[in-house]
């Protein structure tokens, strides 16, 4: 059964980690064992420090991702349907997508200063282009026969987008949204490493400053957990519904 294999795999992984930590190859402050890391994680959660940091990071993520979602959906629709925008703005978006989001951080600090707005700007830049390209790909791959049928039935203007293009493009759009979320999450962590307020990124930096590898690893586990939880709670159910609607499930 899949869950048994997962349990066996992670149990073996923890055992190897514990053996390496106890071997003396690395000092304990550089490579703590899983028991120490889990104890640090529990202590941080019990004290509320990790909970507060997580909530602060999620708030920033929600604001930045919401901004990139609104802009990315509109921009992707326009690029996908307007030829001259595809040839101009589309090429720019494609080029900027190849730029790692952390590269926006120095510019954000110069423009906004080392504050909340700079971090949110980096989050927006991290997610925007993936969402835009996902929407553009979905719009371009909409079968032309769907559009002709809609026009024959009297659909015009915005109704074509809302009733035909967007539903047909939904699988590709969802892929872009999911990729944009993952880039936004990574961008947020990079930005928070430099901004000294309580957050997950700042807790990572504090652990490094204190030579506390247990805290660093505990926060890393928390970041992984939050990322997986959001994927399972938000994106996975939507993906299942889309696959069912499109007849892609076995």
Question: Would you state the pLDDT for residue 81?
Answer: 79
Rounded to two decimals, the pTM is 0.87
Tell me what the mean pLDDT of segment 171-200 comes to: 87
Residue 7 domain flag: no
How far is it, in rounded angstroms, from Cα 42 to Cα 93? 43
Q: Using 50, 70 and 90 to split pLDDT, how confident is the model at 153?
A: low
How far is it, in rounded angstroms, from Cα 42 to Cα 12? 22
List C-alpha distances in Å: 48 to 55, 68, 175, 199: 11, 30, 34, 12
How far is it, in rounded angstroms, from Cα 193 to Cα 90? 32
Tell me what the mean pLDDT of segment 68-97 comes to: 88
Residue 132 domain flag: yes
8 Å CB contact between 184 and 226: no
Residue 241 domain flag: yes
The H or E element containing residue 154 is none
pLDDT digits (tens, 9 = 90+) for 22-70: 888 888 888 899 999 999 999 999 999 999 999 999 999 999 999 999 9
Residue 30 domain flag: no
Residue 81 domain flag: yes
Residue 169: is its pLDDT beyond 80? no
- Total domains in the fold of the chain: 1
Residue 16 domain flag: no
Residue 155: is its pLDDT beyond 70? no
Domain membership of residue 191 as a residue range: 35-245
Residue 138 domain flag: yes
8 Å CB contact between 62 and 56: no
Considering only residues 222 and 196, tell me which one the structure prediction assigns the higher pLDDT: 222
Q: Using 50, 70 and 90 to split pLDDT, how confident is the model at 249?
A: low
8 Å CB contact between 172 and 159: no
Residue 192 domain flag: yes
How far is it, in rounded angstroms, from Cα 184 to Cα 125? 8
List C-alpha distances in Å: 197 to 39, 112, 192: 24, 16, 8
Identify the CATH number of the domain in which residue 105 sits.
1.10.3720.10
């Amino acid at each position: 059964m899949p869950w048994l294999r997962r349990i066996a795999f992670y149990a073996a992984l923890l055992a190897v980690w514990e053996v390496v930590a106890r071997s003396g190859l690395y000092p304990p402050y550089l490579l703590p064992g899983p028991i120490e890391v889990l104890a640090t994680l529990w202590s941080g959660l019990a004290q509320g420090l990790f909970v507060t940091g997580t909530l602060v990071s999620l708030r920033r993520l929600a604001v930045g991702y919401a901004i990139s979602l609104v802009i990315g959906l509109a921009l992707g629709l326009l690029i996908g349907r307007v030829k001259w925008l595809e040839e101009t703005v589309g090429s720019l978006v494609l080029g900027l997508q190849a730029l790692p989001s952390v590269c926006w951080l120095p510019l954000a600090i110069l423009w906004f200063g080392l504050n909340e707005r700079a971090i949110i700007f980096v989050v927006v830049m991290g997610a925007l282009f993936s969402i835009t390209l996902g929407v553009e790909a979905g719009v371009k791959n909409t079968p032309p026969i769907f559009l002709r049928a809609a026009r024959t039935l009297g659909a015009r203007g915005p109704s074509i987008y809302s009733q035909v293009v967007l539903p047909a493009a939904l699988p590709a759009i969802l892929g872009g949204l999911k990729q944009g979320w993952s880039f936004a999450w990574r961008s947020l962590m990079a930005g928070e490493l430099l901004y000294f307020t309580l957050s997950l990124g700042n807790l990572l930096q504090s652990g490094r400053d204190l030579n506390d590898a247990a805290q660093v690893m505990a926060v890393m586990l928390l970041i992984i957990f939050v990322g997986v939880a959001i994927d399972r709670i938000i994106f996975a159910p939507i993906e299942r519904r889309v696959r069912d609607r499109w007849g892609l499930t076995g």
